[in-house]
Structure 1
Amino acid sequence: MEQKFCQSCGTLLTDNNKGTNADGDFIVSGAQTPRIGGVIMMKVENRAAVDAIIAQAPFNINGIADYRIVGLAPTIFCESILYCLLR
């Protein structure tokens, strides 16, 4: 069985910490370049929803990641792509 590692921090990914997007909360996620961390873009109603998702995140539960929450109010975007991402 091939071992997989987090692209951001190098931690071995297991069934307990690899996570999924089964709930559909994430729009995109991945490693930053250079690999100093990662980015998660979510579609949520409010900050409480973000906090609830992060509280259950395997990387948070296992103490692998620290999170900095940043809001985004898009002003320039491709309408058709934004529609597809947010529906």
Structure 2
Amino acid sequence: MEINKAVLDCMQSLRRRLRDEQRLDIRLSQPDAVTAMLTACLGSGDELTRELGRQLAAYTDQPTPVAIKPSSASAHVPSVRIYRGQRVMA
């Protein structure tokens, strides 16, 4: 992956937005920084953040991660409570 000024600017602005929106601390020196940023963009409710993620994916020639939606059969997730230090299905 070639890092040029456009990629670096995109990563810096995306890092700032993700830190403000989702309280994520992604460092540019991390080996998986691009993947972490692209994955975090999926959870963003802001269109500009998602657009920056699409730009970063295009710059780095990585596929944009696709959100996996649960099927209707596996959509029911039982709630878990902690009772006296033990996990209890509710």
Larger Rg: 2
Same fold (TM over 0.5): no
- Tell me the TM-score normalized by structure 1: 0.37
Normalized per residue, which structure has more strand? 1
Normalized per residue, which structure has more helix? 2
